[in-house]
C-alpha cells in the first residue's frame, strides 16, 4: 500500500509518498489530481467540504482549534461556498461579511487551491475514500504527545523541532529543498503523510461527525 501527504506550495503541491518499508519520496507536482495517482490514501493540508454561511463554520475546525492551545490561529477559517467563487479579495470579503464574518487576505490567497480541491472532489466520488483533510500542526501535536509545537515552523528552531519529531516517528526528511516549494511545505507534507499512514491503519483520530457533509456530499472532517 502506498500512502501520501500533500501540502500546497508556490508551484502546485508538495507530495510525500510513503512506500513499503517506510521509504519516502518527496516531489512537487502541478495538480492535486497528479498527487492522487497510485495512492490508497492521501492526506492533504487543505479544506474539504464547505459550509454555505461562515457562522458557525465547520465543527471540525472548532474542535481542531480547541486541541491546539497557543497554536489555534494555524487553523485558518474556511470560507463559505458563495465567497469561494469570488476572484477579488474585496468582493469575497464584502460577500462573506453580509453572511456573517469577513475573510482575511491570507485565507483569500488559498482560494485557488481550495477551488481545485473542491472541483476534484466533486467530480470523482471515488476520491472520497482516498483523499482526507488533515492538518500539519495536529499531526505534529500528536507526535509530541498531544502537546502543540509552539515554535514557528519558518524559524530555524521551529523547523529543527518538527524535523526531529518526524525522525523520531520514522519519517526522516529525505530532502530539504525543492524548486517551487518552501522547506516548511516539505515538512508539512511529510507530517500529513504520517497522518495518512494512521488513516490506512485505522488508528487516526477524526474531528467532526462521521456523517458531516456539505450540500455537495463532501465530508467535513479533519484527521490526525
Q: What is the pLDDT of residue 165?
A: 98
Q: Tens of pLDDT along 102-141?
A: 999 999 999 999 999 999 999 999 999 999 999 999 999 9
Q: What is the pLDDT of residue 73?
A: 94
| CB of 140 closer than 8 Å to CB of 75 | no
- Chain centroid offset of residue 97 CA: 25
Is residue 151 a part of any domain in this protein? Answer: yes
pLDDT at 92 over 90: yes
Over pLDDT 90: what percentage of the chain? 94
Radius of gyration in angstroms for the set of CA atoms belonging to the chain, rounded to a whole number: 17
C-alpha–C-alpha distance, residues 92 and 108, integer Å: 8
Is residue 23 very low, low, confident or very high in pLDDT (cuts 50, 70, 90)?
A: very high
CA distances from 210 to 85, 109, 202, 206 (A): 27, 29, 14, 8
Is residue 93 a part of any domain in this protein? Answer: no
Q: Is residue 193 classed as helix, strand or coil in its secondary structure?
A: helix
**Which range of residues forms the domain containing residue 28?**
3-76+107-223
Is residue 131 a part of any domain in this protein? Answer: yes
Q: What is the pLDDT of residue 11?
A: 96
pLDDT at 54 over 90: no
Is residue 55 very low, low, confident or very high in pLDDT (cuts 50, 70, 90)?
A: confident
Is residue 84 a part of any domain in this protein? Answer: no
Letter string b/e over residues 103-134, b meaning 16 or more CB atoms within 10 A of that residue's CB: beeebbebbebbebbbebbeeeeebeebbbbb
| CB of 59 closer than 8 Å to CB of 47 | no
Is residue 99 very low, low, confident or very high in pLDDT (cuts 50, 70, 90)?
A: confident
Closest CA to 213 of 55, 50, 62, 75: 50
Q: What is the pLDDT of residue 160?
A: 97
C-alpha–C-alpha distance, residues 142 and 123, integer Å: 32
Is residue 88 a part of any domain in this protein? Answer: no
pLDDT at 100 over 90: no
Is residue 132 a part of any domain in this protein? Answer: yes
Is residue 186 a part of any domain in this protein? Answer: yes
Is residue 199 a part of any domain in this protein? Answer: yes
Q: What is the pLDDT of residue 56?
A: 87
Name the helix (H) or strand (E) containing 24: strand 24-29
Look up residue 106 and give its three cell numbers. Answer: 491570507
CA 42-48-50 angle, to 5 degrees, is: 175
Q: First CA to last CA across the chain, in angstroms?
A: 19
C-alpha–C-alpha distance, residues 139 and 223, integer Å: 9
Q: What is the pLDDT of residue 112?
A: 96
| Number of structural domains in the chain | 1
- In sequence order, what are the residues at sequence separation of 6 or more whose Cβ sits closer than 8 angstroms to the Cβ of residue 200? 1, 3, 40, 41
Q: Tens of pLDDT along 141-199?
A: 999 999 999 999 999 999 999 999 999 999 999 999 999 999 999 999 999 999 999 99
Amino acid at each position: 500500500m502506498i500512502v501520501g501527504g500533500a501540502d500546497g506550495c508556490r508551484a502546485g503541491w508538495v507530495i510525500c509518498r510513503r512506500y513499503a518499508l517506510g521509504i519516502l519520496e518527496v516531489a512537487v507536482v502541478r495538480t492535486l489530481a497528479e498527487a492522487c495517482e497510485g495512492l490508497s490514501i492521501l492526506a492533504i493540508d487543505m479544506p474539504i467540504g464547505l459550509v454555505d454561511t461562515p457562522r458557525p463554520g465547520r465543527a471540525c475546525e472548532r474542535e481542531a482549534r480547541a486541541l491546539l492551545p497557543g497554536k489555534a490561529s494555524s487553523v485558518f477559517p474556511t470560507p463559505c461556498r458563495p465567497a469561494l467563487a469570488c476572484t477579488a479579495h474585496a468582493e469575497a470579503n464584502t460577500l462573506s461579511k453580509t453572511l456573517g464574518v469577513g475573510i482575511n487576505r491570507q485565507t483569500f490567497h488559498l482560494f485557488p487551491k481550495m477551488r481545485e480541491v473542491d472541483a476534484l472532489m466533486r467530480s470523482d466520488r471515488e476520491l472520497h475514500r482516498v483523499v482526507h483533510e488533515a492538518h500539519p500542526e495536529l499531526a505534529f501535536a500528536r507526535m509530541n504527545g498531544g502537546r502543540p509545537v509552539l515554535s514557528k515552523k519558518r524559524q530555524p528552531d521551529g523547523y529543527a523541532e518538527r524535523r526531529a519529531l518526524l525522525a523520531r516517528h520514522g519519517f526522516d526528511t529525505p530532502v530539504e529543498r525543492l524548486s517551487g516549494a518552501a522547506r516548511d511545505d516539505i515538512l508539512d507534507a511529510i507530517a500529513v503523510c504520517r497522518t495518512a499512514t494512521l488513516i490506512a491503519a485505522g488508528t487516526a483520530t477524526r474531528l467532526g461527525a462521521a456523517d458531516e457533509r456539505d450540500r455537495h456530499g463532501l465530508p467535513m472532517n479533519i484527521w490526525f
